[in-house]
Amino acid sequence: MTAHFAPRIERSHGVARLGFGCMRGRTRLEALRQEGSAKAFVHPGASGPEVVFLNTSGGLTGGDRLAFGLRLGAGCRVTATTQTAERAYRSAGGVARVTVEHEVGAGAHLDWLPQETILFEGAALERVTTVRLEAGASCLLLEAVVLGRAAMGEVLRRVHLNDRRQVLRDGRPVLVEPLRLGDAGLVAGRGVLGAARAFASLALVAEGAEARVEAVRAVLDEPGVAAGASGFDGKLTVRLMAADGWPLRRQILRVLGVLRDGPLPRVWQM
């Protein structure tokens, strides 16, 4: 008798969480936990520490689990990003799940600026990003998605993306942005993406954020990028769509130049 066994496919799991405190006006690392494929590096920055998260597995596929998180004490200022674009590859079964949870203490500020997520044919990704703000805290959030590699002639026909971002202040939601994109959405026309294969959303949640709308609109001029900005009640949101990730990235950089106090994270600079 010959026994046949299905091969066991390895899945990657990773957790990286950091805590910061502020003493005499300086933000300092107080706690660091990292395990599995998730790593984090901290570099000094002009406006506070820069945290760079890294997924050492080289990408995500069905069954992978990844979690990032920051805890900022009162008065801290931190910029966090990812070392490079995250890639979600074809899933042979199940979905990749990414959880991002940040806690921002009273009067603290967080810039959460991950680089692009690139979805490949057959990718299945579910991600939830939650930012919890205490009184007087603020945050700047970015999420950018690229559907395939245009330079390689890739055209996606199958994809599963369930992406949710939410900002809570003292436990109450002040910004909720759910996104679901499936096969039908790739060909749904102007009501969804049209010919765009790269898109991004930026949000500033801070007192007086809406007053910066006109300054942002003044730089929404990248050729090939459809863009809009609006603001109300302590929030400013920017939506961007493009046929390719390169013009989208250039437009993002200009918007960040308006909304940030200081230089871009080192890994973002070109």
Q: What's residue 150's pLDDT?
A: 64
Q: What's residue 8's pLDDT?
A: 53
The closest of 89, 233, 260, 101 to 165, measured between CA atoms, is: 101
Q: What's residue 25's pLDDT?
A: 83
Q: What's residue 223's pLDDT?
A: 95
What are the backbone dihedrals phi and psi of residue 34, each rounded to the nearest 5 degrees, phi first?
Answer: -145, 140
Low-confidence ranges of the chain (pLDDT < 50): 4-7
Residue 254: its H or E element: helix 245-259
Q: What's residue 111's pLDDT?
A: 97
Identify whether the C-beta of residue 224 lies closer than 8 Å to the C-beta of residue 246.
no
Full-model pTM:
0.92
DSSP type of residue 92: S
Q: What's residue 153's pLDDT?
A: 64
Cα–Cα distance measured from residue 102 to residue 68, given in angstroms and rounded to the nearest whole number: 8
Cα–Cα distance measured from residue 118 to residue 125, given in angstroms and rounded to the nearest whole number: 11
Q: What's residue 189's pLDDT?
A: 63
Q: What's residue 19's pLDDT?
A: 98
Identify whether the C-beta of residue 117 lies closer than 8 Å to the C-beta of residue 145.
yes
DSSP type of residue 6: P
Q: What's residue 186's pLDDT?
A: 75
Cα–Cα distance measured from residue 241 to residue 144, given in angstroms and rounded to the nearest whole number: 10
Counting every residue written for the chain, the total comes to: 270
